Amino acid sequence: MNIKSAKFVISNQNAKDCPKSNLPEYAFIGRSNVGKSSLLNTLTGANKKVAIVSQTPGRTQLINMFKCSDHKGDLCMFVDLPGNGFAKMSKAQQVYVFLIT
């Protein structure tokens, strides 16, 4: 897969409200502060920073979707999911983040 462009599609709290697509979806899930957003940026190209990367754990608190394309057309959707574990958020927020992922 040779990604030429990655375009932000949507940020959403609820998976049910995310757009449906016929493209393959690749979800990035894991603990907070392990580099999910950084990995997404690396996969989309060194000079394309599509996902915001923070030094503070737990900044990704929504489902973020990106459409990836090459010169022939759309390839896939990357889905950056909220992390869990080190995030500085209330227990109720952590439970909600766990439930939507």
CA–chain centroid gap for 36, Å, is 7
* pLDDT recorded at residue 22: 94
Phi, psi angle pair for 83, to nearest 5° = -85, 175
Whether residue 99 is predicted with pLDDT greater than 70 in this model: the reply is: no
pTM of whole model > 0.75? no
Q: How many whole angstroms separate alpha carbon 63 and alpha carbon 66?
A: 10
* pLDDT recorded at residue 76: 94
Q: What is the pLDDT of residues 31-76, one digit of tens each?
A: 777 778 888 888 887 556 777 776 665 566 788 899 999 989 999 9
Residue 6 contacts residue 76 (beta carbons within 8 Å): no
